[in-house]
Every structure is written in C-alpha cells, then in structure tokens.
Structure 1
C-alpha cells in the first residue's frame, strides 16, 4: 500500500503528545471503550515508556479540525544494530475509533507517513479488539487428545474485529506470526454482573478452594512497594516449579510499580496472601487508564502450604476489587491454546477457566513494512533479529501465559 496521503488531506493532523496530554486523553476514553470501539491498554500509557528499557518512546496524537484529540498512540522505537532506521512498535495500540470505515486511509496511512519521517522502516500495531470468543462450557466439552482452541467453533465472532482484519489486509498490513503480546487471553466479564453472579460463575472447585482459604485463615491484602522483594522471591520459586523463566529482575518490577503509580495512584497494585504471618502468594494487578479494564499481570506462590489455596483467595479478592471499582472486564492475560489434558500447559488454561471467564482471541499484531528497497531489506532483517534466541534475561517480551 503506497503511503502517499498527507495528514492534511485526511482532515486529521498528527503531532507529538506530551505525557500529560497523552494521559489526559486516555483517561477520557471510557465512553468509547464501553461502546466497543477499542480499549485502552496499560501498554499504551505514557508511563509504560518509563518501564521499557532499550526502546525510545514517543507519544503521538490525531487532532481534528476543532483542535481536539481524536486518538493517541505510544510508539516504541528500537534501532537495529549498525543502522540508522528503527522498528516502530505500538503494543496493543493505537487508541482510536476502530469502527471508522476509512480506518486505513484516514488514520493509519498518516501515522505510517509520520513514523517514516522519524526513521521507521516497519510499523507493528496491535489493535485492542476481540475477534473470537469461547465460553468455559464450550471448551470444557471440547477437551480431548490433540485438541486445540482453534479446532472448536467459537461461541461468537466479533463483527468489528472481523471487519478491521479485512480492512487491514486490504490495505497491505500482514498479520504477525510471532505476536509479542498474547493473542489468546482469558477474560471475566464484570459489566452488569453482581458479586453473587461472579461467585456462582466460579466452578465448584474454585468456590471450594476460596472457602477453604477463608477457613484456613488466609488473609489477603494490598501491599506497598516494600513487599516487592517477597513477590520477586516467590516468582523465582514459581519459575523453578513450573519450568519457565520470565527473566525479569526485581529492579524491573520496582521501576514498573513506581512509573505506573506515579501516573495514577493505584494503577498497579501488589496483592499478597498471608497464612500464619507468612506471604504464600503475591499477584500484581494493573488498571487501564480509563478504568474500564483490570489485568492480572503476574502471579507467584510458594511451594509449601499450597493446600490452603492462597492463589484462589487472591484472585477472588482481585475480581471483587475490580468489580467494585467499576471495571467492565477482568483480564487474566495469556492462556495456552491446548485442550489436551496430557499437555503440561493445559493445567494453566483449566485453572483460569475455573473463574467462569471466556477465552478471547484478540485481533493480534499486524505489520506494514514502509516502502523502499532498503526498508524491505531492513524489515526482513528485523524479523530475524527479534526471532533469534537471546536468553530469558534480555527477551523483548517474555511469555505472559506463564505468569500465574
């Protein structure tokens, strides 16, 4: 797709946003989010730029003729070694009206031109839209040897997600096969539901485990940054037990906690579950800038006294808090797509499905190499650079489906 349209020709102008302007616009997007026009991810918050090391970040906004912001994006730039051009990445963004029929021409083409002027040779976006949904009941019935979520007829195909996929494809964008963010997530709907509805939505095993934790005297609390070392220690225990490594240091979580909460107190929280005065589990929760969504980001638990079910108690507390603060959805982030009980990862999917939530396939990530022989060559080079094994400690985006 030739990127030839100027911002003026589309009726929208683009310019850099200050963090204050950017944050103000995102906080005012709740009505558009509730209308299903596209959500606001914490990965699009200007505060996220302070969390990511090794990337240069810039906020950009679309403005109408009246001078009011109509959309915004956090762009992360990464320069390839030895070259002067950059890979431009918009994690779970941009934030705009995805229902616009002139999406590619009026919104994305000017963005790509603007990024090209700033040295980008490839643009990767992650439209924050659902594409297909499967209920817990549907997937429970489909469990079997060799089965995967994609093998099962979804309960719902989202019209807007399907339309945007078509529009992106027609405009030359290509769906990525190596999404940095999880394409399949577990979402618990909260809007229009009471706490009783959420409780009865849990399966019997979850309800039994939450009650068991209460009888055993497990106490859940929201801790401050002083408990992050305990959380990180338990995360190491969890990684060794479950056979994965996120490669994130204590300093990473301290930086994340400080940056997100400086943007808005309570944006990131650390929940702990204590038994006999000892922290047995600790989970992090992040709220979206517009308040519409809460994410369970990372969880950690001890190897001992697992019979008192601290993780179930924590999740129930986090669900209740998200509901009480008006979130419309509780997002448990990535899930494996296997439905085979013989696969080790099936246990994580089963655990999350116990909340009564649904598996949501998002639209995933899409790329567009900007035109020119040099840029196409750099595009191929960046695919090899980002795909090569680099060790857990330096991985660009660790596998979030392992974060329980």
Structure 2
C-alpha cells in the first residue's frame, strides 16, 4: 500500500476523529487554537482508493530569526501503528515537513508498552528495593510495542529520554494512570477503590461537599486554586488566559469537549478540575485545590463525580494522565501516584516520544538548549 499525504481541512480532520473510538485530545483540530505560539496544520494520509486512512495534527514552532521549524505531533499521528511497513506512513510525512522547513520532527506514538495493576504499583511503592516503576515486572506486556520501536529505530527515529528527575518527559507523559470503565458498572468501579478512597468519598458526602459543573465564568475560581496548588506542589502555573483559550477553542469544536467541575463546601470552592473528552476516552486534565478544609476530602469527591459522568457518557476509560515512575519516598510526586493508585486502576507505559532530525546540526543545537533550560 502506498499512501499519499496532503493537508486536509478541519472538517475532514474532525470527521476522521469522530469515526474513531479514541484519539488523543491533542490530535483534534481545535488543539491548534490552544497553542497560538505554534503554527498548525492538519495532515491526511490517503490510500490508493482515495480514502482518508490516517490523520495528524502537526504543530510547527519557529526558530528565532530563522524560517525553520520544530514539527511536533503530540500523542500522534493517528495511523495504523500495527502496520508491518511503518515507512509507508512516515516517509511521506517527513518529506512533506522537510519541504515546509522543519529541521526536526517529534511525535508520540499512541502505542502501549506495559501495564501495572494498582496492587502491583502499591507493592512496588512498599518495596524498598524498587526504585523505578520501569524496573518492576509488569502485570501485562504488549508484544507489538517492541516491533514498533524496532521499526522506528531502523528508519532513523531516535527515542527521547524517558524522563527527568521528576519522572516526566519534557513533552507528554510516558507513564499515565487510568481507570477502565468499559463493561463495568459503577458499583464494580467503586468496589476496586482502596478502603481509604471509599472512606474519603463517604466523608465528603457526609460533610456536605457538593460537586457541580461550572462554565467559562468559573475559570477564575479554578485558576485561583490552581495557582495555590502550583505553589504547594512546586510547578510553574499556566496563566488564566491559557485556560480561557482552551475552553473557547475546545467547546467551539464540540460543546462537551471540555468540562469544568468545582467542589463546594459551606459556600467556598475547595477543589476544581477540568475534564476532556474525545470519543470513548475521558481525561482528567488539570486539577486544583486549596490546603484548607482538606479533611472533608473534596479531591476524592470531585474525581468520583467525574468518573460517574464519564461512565454515564459511555466512556471506555477514565485517564488520570501523568504519573512519576520514581518510587522514592523523598520524591514529591509519589503522593500523587499513591492517590491515583487508590482508584484501583492501572499504570500504563506508552512508547514515549521519538525524534527524527532532518537537520542534525539544528536538531543538536535544540537539544542542548532544552537541556540547559
């Protein structure tokens, strides 16, 4: 099979996404509007019959003072990753992006490598000999991932480093935590929660915590808590304008693409979170909470409400996004891993991000610049 690649319209791209059960929220046309510092194009792969067989949102970041670009396909492209001849898919993309002035291409194949059950994660945390999740025997292996990685290396793709000191990659997270929902009742989902999680949900209900859906006008309350969370958890917060832009872009494409939830208690918003949906995949995207009145457990309450709503919408998976793979008690992100493992879901390792240097000198220069940041 020979594929022809060309730019496609947003309507073509969106129709392609809508016909699939799961596509990353960073591979929908509206994500381009969330990233105004990048130029963006929707690309389509057409088979010999002229049918659209694959699609990808590519973001182009210009180098200062040069008309050269870093091309980035976060958690994409959406192609047949099981193909025995990945070159038929990727060579046309590289040729097209080189012609557009790209000096390097980065992509994130949506290919699962391994999974660890919640129990396996908890045992690993409790084992003083276990230092990183990647070194712990997985509950499930995906044999096809090895073949995909081998084919990419054979083509000249280079795997990005699996993570920094905090266990996260410089781009999108390689390790995530998810709760399977397909074919399960809410009672079964809740039954897999840890005792602490079930107890905390009951505490929140008894204390009168009310979780409601908010709108654009409530983003300020969310952001106020988000800034407080950033100070507490030691990360740099995004500005309010980013979330306002995200809301406008995503809900304009689909009215239910993004939701905002707020946990109220005695007239005060104690926690807030954003939820994104594409097809049967639901993501907990950003979360925020105050340090006050934590005893009423607003974070557990808000997550449970979001899972219930995801289940009601027919979601196959509730994705809690990135986790650290560092199992050191001194790591400040280990508490977040414990919190997510309490849902009884599973840790998932993806193939990670891969680079193809089209201009090795500029690609190396970019790598040095990013390492010094």
- Match of 2:269, SS? strand
Indicate which of 146, 149, 167 corresponds to 1:165: 149
- Residue 40 of structure 1 corresponds to 23
Provide, for residues 34-76 of structure 1, a one-character-per-residue CA deviation record: whole Å limited to 9, x for no partner: xxxxx41010111000001211101110012222210000001
Indicate which of 50, 73, 83 corresponds to 2:66: 83
- Residue 74 of structure 1 corresponds to 57
- Residue 27 of structure 1 corresponds to 18
Q: Is the 8 A contact 1:22 1:46 kept in 2?
A: yes
How far 1:179 sits from its partner (Å)? 4.0
Provide, for residues 11-55 of structure 1, a one-character-per-residue CA deviation record: whole Å limited to 9, x for no partner: 22111111111111111112xxxxxxxx41010111000001211
Gaps spanning 5+ residues in structure 1: where? 1-9, 31-38, 390-404
Distance 1:225 1:376 in 2: 44
Distance 1:358 1:193 in 2: 15
Q: Is the 8 A contact 1:134 1:360 kept in 2?
A: yes
Distance 1:340 1:190 in 2: 30
Q: Is the 8 A contact 2:233 2:332 kept in 1?
A: no
- Give the TM-score, by structure 2 length: 0.95
- State yes or no: 1:259 paired with 2:249: yes
Provide, for residues 346-398 of structure 1, a one-character-per-residue CA deviation record: whole Å limited to 9, x for no partner: 1111001000111111110001112xxxx111111121233332xxxxxxxxx
Distance 2:144 2:24 in 1: 18
The list of structure 1 runs, each at least 4 consecutive aligned residues, that deviate by more than 6 angstroms after superposition, is none
Structure 1 residues 388 and 18: alpha-carbon distance in aligned structure 2, compared to 1, 3 A threshold: farther
Distance 2:372 2:282 in 1: 32
How far 1:100 sits from its partner (Å)? 1.1
Structure 1 residues 151 and 11: alpha-carbon distance in aligned structure 2, compared to 1, 3 A threshold: closer
**Map of 1:52-201 to 2, 5 A cutoff?**
52-103=35-86, 105-143=87-125, 144-145=127-128, 147-177=131-161, 178-201=169-192
Aligned residue pairs total: 364
- Match of 1:383, SS? helix
- Residue 394 of structure 1 corresponds to none
What root-mean-square deviation, in Å, do the aligned CA atoms of Structure 1 and Structure 2 show?
1.3
Q: Is the 8 A contact 1:179 1:365 kept in 2?
A: no
- Match of 2:134, SS? helix
Q: Is the 8 A contact 2:263 2:271 kept in 1?
A: yes
How far 1:242 sits from its partner (Å)? 2.2
- State yes or no: 1:14 paired with 2:5: yes
How far 1:324 sits from its partner (Å)? 1.3
- Give the TM-score, by structure 1 length: 0.88
How far 1:166 sits from its partner (Å)? 1.6
Provide, for residues 209-235 of structure 1, a one-character-per-residue CA deviation record: whole Å limited to 9, x for no partner: 001100111111111111000000011
How far 1:172 sits from its partner (Å)? 1.3
How far 1:141 sits from its partner (Å)? 1.5
